[in-house]
Amino acid sequence: MGNQQDGGAAAASPGTKLAVLLAMAMFVLVVDTSLMNVSISAVVRDLDTTVSGVQSAIALEALVSAAFILIGSKVGDLIGRKRAYVLGLLGYATGAIAMMVAQDLRAIVVFWAVIGGLGASLLLPAMQSLVHGNFEGAAQRKAYALVGAAAAIAAAVGPLLGGFITTYLSWRVAFGMEVVIIAIVLSGIRLVHDAPYTGSRAVDPVGALLSVLAMGGLVLSVLVWQEGGEFVLLLLVVGVVALGSLVRWLVSRKKKNRPTLVDPDLFKIPTFRLGISQQMLQQVALGGAMIALPIYLQMVLEYNAMGAGLSMAPLSLSMFAVALLAGRKAGDRRPSRIVRIGFLLLAAGVVALLPIVPRAESGWALVGPLVVAGSGLGLLVSQLNNYTLGPVSEERVSEAAGINSAAGSFGLSFGLAFAGAIMLATLSLTFTAKAEGSSVLPPEDKVQVAEALDRDAQLMSNSDLEELLADEPEVIQDEIVRINTEARPLALQVALAVPTLAALLGLANSFRMVRLPEPKPTGDTEGMAFG
């Protein structure tokens, strides 16, 4: 492993360059979703599609990554981590290129959400193994820190960067820049030495299928319900049954000493079990906030992508700053108590938004609650990975990190899907109720107005709605705009119930964490944080 030898500047240079290239790959991976979140209105307008359609694509990308990440890890074992890394980058590049040239939502769903999500499921576990296999000692710790820092910075500046590029150039340019970065990363692939895999090459295809059906059924049922499709209950039942079957299958296979997708004995470790549940709840809360707030800022306050990015910056920047500070200053404080404070601040920040939303005239009104919520998320980010993976033995830590990543990605996809779905469902129900209860709209027009608002108002600001209604009598215009104005804050408040409930469940769970002895690290888990 020549990249980590101490032989002077000439030998150190390739290792440093490789660490930077790996960090660039992680930056693209994390910043990608932020670009979509702050560009929703621009994508909707340019592709003549719906907010719910774009939101579904965002949730689907996170779902595909979650559903296949455990499989992606095994694929990397079988075909080589370097090859999986390259395939993952190419999958992500395919999605970014599709975003540059897409003319309808179908291209985004197929190439960005599905192929890009599959790329992420290969890329994350392969990257972790390559860092572990290409560096040693202090160089390895520095490489892990650099890649982790790239992920944190991407999460912090993603909304700002995406908003700036979308507003002053185009959202397509932002994804074009991703392609350029991936090309630079691939240009240095000769620096990467494959990380050999010496474990069992046996596979568990049934476990893999059940894991995909479980996560896919649960999240897809929400997305299909949001779009008014059929088979919602069937998908939900498939997800629940597959999840139960997966648990029984893994336990049965373990007893027979046969290969399993994941080792069920990991879940016998109390801190691991609690840690991944907390990781999932944190990501549900983050996903719910990161889909509901940008929609509100762009559709209700009529912000462009730059305005939405700036308004979301207090959340992302405070999360980054507090995570950095807490990671350095935690000292001997019990991680479980820091996690409890984190969920408490997260819940307090989101709850504080509820009375502000109907009265907010600008994003400035959201700054305080977003800083509080972001600080809570920062505390969680600083502690949960090491809490979860710390007590896991060295030979099992990679598998445990994969489960941890899958739980987080599933939580993110569920939060994105469910918060977006109930936000748009509440809009629909409120539109109908207020239109039918109006004393201004003619009785014969109420049904048509309700249907039109349900179909079109989610796409546009009040200014756009007034332009659409230009030919209607002024009293009708004013009434429809009033209905639209009153419905949207209520819909956001309902959507914010998702991160609120997730934060409260995490807070309740933290009391169980405090009652357990603090985990004592058994191996080097520093590098698992970014996964």
Query: Residue 127 and residue 141: Cα distance in Å, rounded?
Result: 14
**What angle is formed at CA 521 by the lines to CA 520 and CA 527, rounded to 5 degrees?**
150
Q: What is the pLDDT of residues 277-323, one digit of tens each?
A: 999 999 999 989 988 888 888 877 888 888 888 898 899 889 888 88
The residue ranking higher by pLDDT, 152 or 522, is: 152
Q: Quick one: which of 31, 177, 36, 170 has its CA closest to 105?
A: 36
Give the 3-state secondary structure of 308-356: HHHHHHHHHHHHHHHHHHHHHHCCCCCHHHHHHHHHHHHHHHHHHHHHH
Query: Residue 457 and residue 431: Cα distance in Å, rounded?
Result: 9
Average pLDDT score over residue span 51-65: 85
Helices marked H in 169-269 — which ranges?
171-187, 205-226, 232-255
Per-residue confidence at 443, pLDDT binned at 50, 70, 90?
Answer: confident
Residues 407, 46: contact at Cβ < 8 Å? Answer: no
Q: What is the pLDDT of residues 128-171, one digit of tens each?
A: 778 877 887 777 777 877 887 788 788 878 888 888 998 899 99
Q: What is the pLDDT of residues 175-198, one digit of tens each?
A: 999 999 999 999 999 988 887 766
Query: Residue 283 and residue 268: Cα distance in Å, rounded?
Result: 23
Q: What is the pLDDT of residues 204-223, one digit of tens each?
A: 889 889 999 998 888 888 87
Q: For position 229, what pLDDT does the model report?
A: 64
Q: What is the pLDDT of residues 222-276, one digit of tens each?
A: 878 766 667 788 888 999 999 999 999 999 998 888 888 888 888 888 888 899 9
The residue with tokens 């820049």 is: 177
Task: Using the predicted structure, report yes or no on whether residue 109 has a pLDDT greater than 80.
Answer: yes
Query: Two tokens at 413?
Result: 């996809």
**What angle is formed at CA 495 by the lines to CA 491 and CA 496, rounded to 5 degrees?**
120
The residue with tokens 């009040």 is: 462
Average pLDDT score over residue span 454-473: 62
Work out the mean pLDDT of the chain and round it to a whole number: 83
The residue with tokens 């108590």 is: 337
Torsion of CA 458, 459, 464, 466, to 10 degrees: -30
Query: Residue 440 and residue 256: Cα distance in Å, rounded?
Result: 71
Residues 527, 131: contact at Cβ < 8 Å? Answer: yes
DSSP letter, residue 251:
H
**In angstroms, what is the C-alpha Rg of the chain?**
23
The three-state secondary structure class of 368 is helix
> φ, ψ for residue 387 (rounded to 5)?
-60, -45
Cβ contacts of 455 within 8 Å, gap of 6 or more: none
Task: Give one word for 252, left, alpha or beta, with left for phi > 0 and alpha for psi -120 to 50.
Answer: alpha
Q: What is the pLDDT of residues 408-429, one digit of tens each?
A: 888 888 898 888 888 878 887 8
What percent of the chain clears pLDDT 90, i.e. is strictly above it?
26
Q: For position 3, what pLDDT does the model report?
A: 47
Torsion of CA 50, 52, 54, 58, to 10 degrees: 180
